[in-house]
Amino acid sequence: MSHEYSIAIHGGAGAMSKGKLSPEQEEDIKNVLKGIIEESLKHLSEGQSALDVVQTAVNKLEDCPWFNAGKGAVFNHEGKHELDAAIMCGKTLEAGAVSGIRYSPNPINVARAVMENSPHVYLGGEGAEKFAQDCGLPEVDNQYFSTDMRYQQLQSALSEKGVVLEPTTNDYKYGTVGAVAKDKHGNLAAATSTGGITNKQYGRIGDTPVIGSGTYANNLTCAVSATGHGEHFLRHVVGYNVSARMQFAHLDLISAAEHVVFQDLPSTGGSGGLIAIDKEGNITLPFNTEGMYRGWGSSIQPAQSKIYK
């Protein structure tokens, strides 16, 4: 059955062993995710564009300290925060991406501004910050992103490895956020925002802001937002990989996404997951880790959220 509109969000995938979070914390996270889905469904039912809805959903996730994006982003090896984000419109294939953001509280808004107010797709580092300033977007001190939980995670990563950088299956590595949607007008959009990986090297960029890797949308096929060990997601060109399997190999959404998550990524040791929606509004949320913070809903499916399998 076709869904007039649909939305899915994630707050990262990883080895989230049951018992690490208290039942209250789990409930809190699930409620945040479900609340964002309910609000997004309302906006979609009122006719808002998929692009606006994914941006608003990601803003909420960026502002929530539980997730590794915006407030609550992980620390890099220097004890600082460098954030990446991307957004893409499936109707026009317009896209905006930023990396190495240190002072913009909502990097996805900078990515959207790049898409709309610049002739470019991707701005990095100081240029991206300067652009955000020129657009009049808000600025914060880099410490705004810091939380105790992420600081402790950096300390354990440092004591475990000394220096960077091979992410293990430890749960403190991940937590990126993302959203995909199909709107009433039949358009798809995707958005992803992240602090990257705990203890990452200065200047490291993962898959999140790379169009076709961590973020991709095309009305012909699907919208995808990924989360996991970015180096592998880059090498498997995850977002476009799902889309290409649908477009050229004529796989359906679920088969295409599952092929990438359960065959391609594990073939090089890549862990994580993705959320994707096709042009009929079907939703899939596969992951090859113990858990993925996720929520979803549509015109015919009430809002739901889950952490584990």
Contacts with ligand ASP, residue ranges (CB under 6 A): 12, 68, 174-176, 194, 196-197, 206-208, 214, 227-228, 230, 233
Q: Between 96 and 175, whose beta carbon lies closer to ligand ASP?
A: 175
Least Å distance, CB 288 to ligand ASP, is 13
**230 marked as part of a ligand binding site:** yes
With CB atoms as reference, the residue minimizing the distance to ligand ASP is: 230
Least Å distance, CB 233 to ligand ASP, is 6
Q: Between 12 and 96, whose beta carbon lies closer to ligand ASP?
A: 12
Round to whole Å and give the CA distance between 167 and 172.
10
For residue 176, indicate whether it is catalytic: yes
Round to whole Å and give the CA distance between 266 and 190.
24
Q: Between 96 and 196, whose beta carbon lies closer to ligand ASP?
A: 196
**124 marked as part of a ligand binding site:** no
Contact criterion met (CB below 8 Å) for 211 and 88: yes
Least Å distance, CB 74 to ligand ASP, is 8
**228 marked as part of a ligand binding site:** yes
Least Å distance, CB 51 to ligand ASP, is 21
**205 marked as part of a ligand binding site:** yes
Round to whole Å and give the CA distance between 120 and 186.
26
Contact criterion met (CB below 8 Å) for 181 and 5: yes
- Whole-number Cα distances in Å, 68 to 4, 117, 127, 147, 172: 31, 27, 23, 10, 10
Quick check: helix, strand or coil at residue 302?
A: strand
Phi, psi of 51 (to 5 degrees): -60, -45
Closest CA to 72 of 109, 107, 36: 107
**136 marked as part of a ligand binding site:** no
Helical axes 50-63 vs 23-45, angle rounded to 10°: 160
Round to whole Å and give the CA distance between 20 and 36.
24
Write down the catalytic residue from 56, 176, 194, 208.
176
Q: Between 12 and 297, whose beta carbon lies closer to ligand ASP?
A: 12
Residues forming the annotated binding site for substrate? 204-207, 227-230
* Residues carrying an active site annotation: 176
